[in-house]
Amino acid sequence: MTRIAIDAMGGDHAPHEIVAGAVWGAQEYGVAIELVGKQDRIEQELDKIAQDGIYSDCGTGGKPKRIKIDLNKLDIKITHASEVIEMGEAPGQAIRKKKKSSIVLAVDAVAKGSSDAVVAAGSTGAAMASSLFGLGRLTGIDRPAIAVTLPTMKKPIVLIDGGANSNCTPEMLFQFAVMGVTFSKNVLGIENPRVGVLNIGEEAGKGNELAQATYKLLDEHHEKINFVGNIEGKEIFLSVCDVVVCDGFVGNVALKITEGTSSMLFRMIKSEFKSDLVGKIIGLLAKPFMKRIGKKINYEEFGGALLLGVKGITVISHGRSKAYAIKNAVRVAKEAVETGVNEKISRFNEEQ
Amino acid sequence: MTRIAIDAMGGDHAPHEIVAGAVWGAQEYGVAIELVGKQDRIEQELDKIAQDGIYSDCGTGGKPKRIKIDLNKLDIKITHASEVIEMGEAPGQAIRKKKKSSIVLAVDAVAKGSSDAVVAAGSTGAAMASSLFGLGRLTGIDRPAIAVTLPTMKKPIVLIDGGANSNCTPEMLFQFAVMGVTFSKNVLGIENPRVGVLNIGEEAGKGNELAQATYKLLDEHHEKINFVGNIEGKEIFLSVCDVVVCDGFVGNVALKITEGTSSMLFRMIKSEFKSDLVGKIIGLLAKPFMKRIGKKINYEEFGGALLLGVKGITVISHGRSKAYAIKNAVRVAKEAVETGVNEKISRFNEEQ
């Protein structure tokens, strides 16, 4: 049985929502879990769940529903971690200093083989640093990168790097393309994924030095990578490619702008409907439709992004994750384990 | 009387929509215009307008309305340009080779003093290159940058650079901050504008080398610039600052992602309402509300972005601009001339 280690202490709503999401994921996806964190806190949470179940809005933002959890049927292991890495701490330093922290021990569980993957909603930097040092890099990969699955009108698209590397070389972006393709093919089931470079124009000579050099490198290796050229930001959601490659700075800005734009639009829509009585009534009628859209683009549905390039599976969840997002992150972790995405990245690189 | 030169041949809908927008702007904002392009084509368009007026959806995407234009009351000058720079041409080469092109002669009109500003909806690169070479740089400015005004829930925010410079130094970003502040204060009327660096986290050490060094530089000069630190993409629309500074690559990606995200959301909303009969009815009722929001975030309302840092006013409009956008671009040009934003940038730099 696949076992997923969860950093029970990471994230804005830890440990309450994290433990709830973990057991919910275990029940829904039939996996074993390893909860890593302060033992007494985790046991308290489990006791509450045993009595009362868990409560979640299921990503709708509406009234929480009660979900019954039968803990006796689940395979739950608790691993005590006496320390917690906080959001503000410098990641490299923190993982060296806090060897007994929940994220370090959760990654360690994968390194030792007691679990198959980690889900982490705490400091992204700490999750990356502990994965890099605890698990090591895959053959042929210089730097791990974050692969984020984005919803579009048609099939989902993978953006890589979503924020692991702020300063990149063309060679790193080429490796991101290889990892993104392997993920898209094996986890999302997309055949011969098309790769685009995130850029500010379509022509080959467009963009900054990095984008130009990456274009050249991918173009030279088009027999290995199904390279379709430059992709502009406005095309990302139009399914013109399946994998978008960029450095982690641009990628992270892009992701957060997407989040900012959609939340501004939803607020504008709400306030527009509130402008008069007719609007209020129509707004009420339109609510279920708007909710369905909100659900489609909600990060909670996607659960988390995969850190690709390390010898193990690390799923990085949003710091604001509640139970529903963590449940979905457990699914992402399970799928990554079962499809063997890491072995396939290594194989791709060995074949070169 | 302020006179605005318009590249009548630039943009996807030139010359028809450009000439229409120019005369509309002249009538609405009481400015004189100088239409630069193929004389016979421009005269044809003016003849049609004299007989039939102009038609515009006024940025709503709905049925076009007829707007009556009294050409006899307007001060219109035509300057013949025998050449046109096409979208695909390399800007630097094109402006050297095509000295009789509409964009080069439109900028020349400002350089010679027959007009006070240029509006250009053709190749952004050609508009920048001809402005840089035709008008020269302001004192203390190494590279001109594009200042884009973005709508938020509260007051508008300025993003600079929106795409003029793909590779930047911290010193360039510092100058962008100076220009953005002068624009925000004098054109948008915002007192003591707050400046933020577009970054992937709030802490000082976050981001790529450029963002880190820019943070340091702005922080050192906080007596001149009201620097509020790093701004994440999701905060751009939350009015936490008034001027967002970034390199032109990141800025252009950010702008196009904003465009892509909103158009995907609007398509999703449309398709969600179409899912059943009740939805169709509610969708119809909700249409006027959605239209009003569409109008609020429509680039056509903003008309165009200012190229700051050159000795003259150049307004860069979207290539897809129709009459309504060009009319608003004329307004932007007029405001920039009247507020003397360039003189104020020069003065800021001379005082240092």
Of A200, A249, A255, the CB nearest to B166: A200
Q: What ipTM, to 2 d.p.?
A: 0.86
Distance CA B313, CA B345 (A): 12
Which segments of chain A are extended strands (E)? 3-7, 32-37, 54-56, 65-67, 76-80, 117-120, 145-150, 157-160, 194-199, 226-232, 243-245, 305-308, 313-316
Nearest to B166 by CA among A264, A113, A250, A222: A250
pLDDT at A288: 81
| Chain A positions in Cβ-Cβ contact with residue B233 (cut-off 8 Å) | 252-260
The pLDDT tens digits of the residues spanning A41-51 come to 999 999 999 99
pTM of the model: 0.89
Greater confidence, B204 or A229?
A229
Quick one: pLDDT at residue B66?
Answer: 95
* CA of A214 vs chain B CAs: smallest distance (Å): 15
Instruction: Please tell me the distance from the alpha carbon of residue B160 to that of residue B250, in angstroms, as a whole number.
Output: 10
Q: What is the mean pLDDT of each run of 10 residues along chain B (352 residues)?
A: 96 96 97 97 96 90 90 96 91 94 97 96 93 92 93 88 94 96 92 96 89 96 93 90 97 92 85 82 82 75 89 93 96 93 81 67
Q: Which of B86, B150, B166, B287 to mutate to test binding with chain A, by most A CBs within 10 Å of its CB?
A: B166
At B79, the amino acid letter reads T
Distance CA B26, CA B4 (A): 9
For residues A114 and A134, give the distance between their C-alpha atoms in angstroms, rounded to a whole number.
14
How far apart are the C-alpha atoms of A175 and A198, rounded to whole Å? 15
Contact A292 B286 (CB under 8 A): no
User: With contact defined as beta carbons under 8 Å apart, do B267 and A267 qualify?
Assistant: no
Tell me the C-alpha distance between A286 and A304, whole Å. Answer: 29
Give residue for tokens 């999750």: A127
Query: How far apart (Å, rounded) are the C-alpha atoms in residues A183 and A190?
Result: 9
Across the interface, of A88, A236, A289, the residue whose CB is closest to B272 is: A289
**Hey, are the CB atoms on B235 and A293 less than 8 Å from each other?**
no
Q: Where are the alpha helices (DSSP H) in A118-207?
A: 124-135, 170-186
Q: How far is A89 from chain B (nearest CA, A)?
A: 10
User: How many other CB atoms are found less than 10 A from the CB of residue A323?
Assistant: 27
Of residues B234, B239, B257, the one with CA closest to residue A263: B234
> Strand pairing partners for A194?
A226
Chain A residues with CB under 8 Å of B277 CB are: none
Instruction: Give me the residue label for tokens 């659900």.
Output: A295
Measured distance CA(A303)–CA(B4) in Å, rounded: 53
Asked if A66 contacts A57 with a C-beta cutoff of 8 angstroms, the reply is no
* Each residue's pLDDT tens digit, A181-200: 999 999 899 999 999 999 99
pLDDT at A322: 94
Contact B289 A271 (CB under 8 A): no
- Candidates B261, B276, B292, B297: best to mutate against A (most CBs of A within 10 A) is B261
B305 alpha-carbon distance from chain centroid? 1
What angle in degrees, to the nearest 10, is found between the helix axes of A39-52 and A16-29?
60
A90 contacts B265? CB cut-off 8 A: no
Do residue B282 and residue A279 have CB atoms under 8 angstroms apart? no
Task: Determine, for residues A285 and B289 on separate chains, whether the beta-carbon distance falls below 8 Å.
Answer: no
Could you tell me which chain B residue has the CA closest to the CA of A207? B166
Contacts of A46 (CB under 8 A, 6+ apart): A19, A23, A71, A76
Phi, psi values for residue B275, rounded to 5°: -70, -25
What pLDDT does residue A287 have? 82
User: Are B263 and A166 a contacting pair at CB < 8 A?
Assistant: no
- Over residues A58-65, mean pLDDT: 85
> Of A205, A233, A268, which is closest to B153 when you measure between CB atoms?
A268
Chains A, B: CB pairs < 8 Å: 173
Per-residue pLDDT band at A204 (split at 50, 70, 90): confident
Asked if residues A21 and A323 have their Cβ atoms less than 8 Å apart, the reply is yes
pLDDT at residue B352 in the model:
62
User: Considering only alpha carbons, which residue of chain B is nearest residue A247?
Assistant: B208
Residue A126 has pLDDT above 90, yes or no: yes
Q: Which pair of tokens denotes residue A189?
A: 């089931």
- Does A352 have pLDDT greater than 70? no
What's the pLDDT band for A315 if we cut at 50, 70, 90? very high
